Amino acid sequence: MITKKQTDLENVDFASGQVIIFDKDLKASSFSVVYKVRKTVKVKKVGHAGTLDPYATGLLILCTGKKTKEIYKYQDLPKTYIGRITLGKKTPSMDVETDVSEEKSIDGISEDKICKVRDSFLGTIEQTPPMYSAIKHKGKSLYKYARKGEEIKREPREVSIYDFELTKIELPDVYFKIKCSKGTYIRVIANDFGDKLGCGGYLTELRRTEIGDIKVEDAWKIEDFKNLFEPEPVEE
């Protein structure tokens, strides 16, 4: 696995297969990281082991060459995230991608109530995938229907929440750390969290910090990785 601790990559055979970890920036798409790596290492076969939404940052695992056949191994690992839920407001996308569409008072929302709602998410739960997602319906991603105002029926899925820590409560904001199974939508948890409190809520920050035992602290920034192959020109 190639981490930022390894800076001599000139003789690495990316075509034969490598695993590289990145720290994705805010507003960058997961595919944009794949594209930049493909262009940098000059290998056509590059894929990621689990999408991060553009408004999320953090750990993204990429596989090149023959290692793309092993992507599933990383997809199946538990994921750890830190983030922030803002109570009293809702958005169609359940995060900051879309504007606030509903507002409710948070009067009467106490720390005790918030902790009790948190407890209801622990273990195996059912979760309905959001309309703003890449899940396909008739060959087209659901978010494309959502952007046209169309609602497609989705079936609930079972996901597992292994740990859900409330790291700080500063109403209307609730900060958290969560460890969950693959296929878990954190913005759905934010939305459902607010609904259970009766005031609504949406995801305002999200960062993936771990996938299994792999940590974001060891990950490359894409520009630093590119600069090992294409150093920026020095101004005279």
Q: Which residues are catalytic?
A: 53
Which amino acid is located at 81 in the chain?
Y
- First vs last Cα of the chain: how many Å apart? 37
Per the structure block, which two tokens stand in for 233? 């020109």
Q: Is 77 helix (H, G, I), strand (E, B) or coil?
A: coil
- Residue among 17, 11, 27 at smallest CA distance from 47: 17
Enumerate residues 6+ apart whose C-beta is below 8 A from 200: 87, 88, 89, 90, 102, 103, 104, 191, 194
Indicate the helix (H) or strand (E) that contains 108. none
Distance, in Å, from the CA atom of 107 to the CA atom of 153, rounded to the nearest integer, reads 33
Q: What is the torsion angle, in degrees rounded to the nearest 10, for the CA atoms of residue 21, residue 206, residue 156 and residue 125?
A: 90
Distance, in Å, from the CA atom of 145 to the CA atom of 59, rounded to the nearest integer, reads 28
* Helical packing angle, 222-229 and 30-41, nearest 10°: 10
- Quickly tell me which residue has 């490359």 as its tokens: 220
Distance, in Å, from the CA atom of 14 to the CA atom of 135, rounded to the nearest integer, reads 30
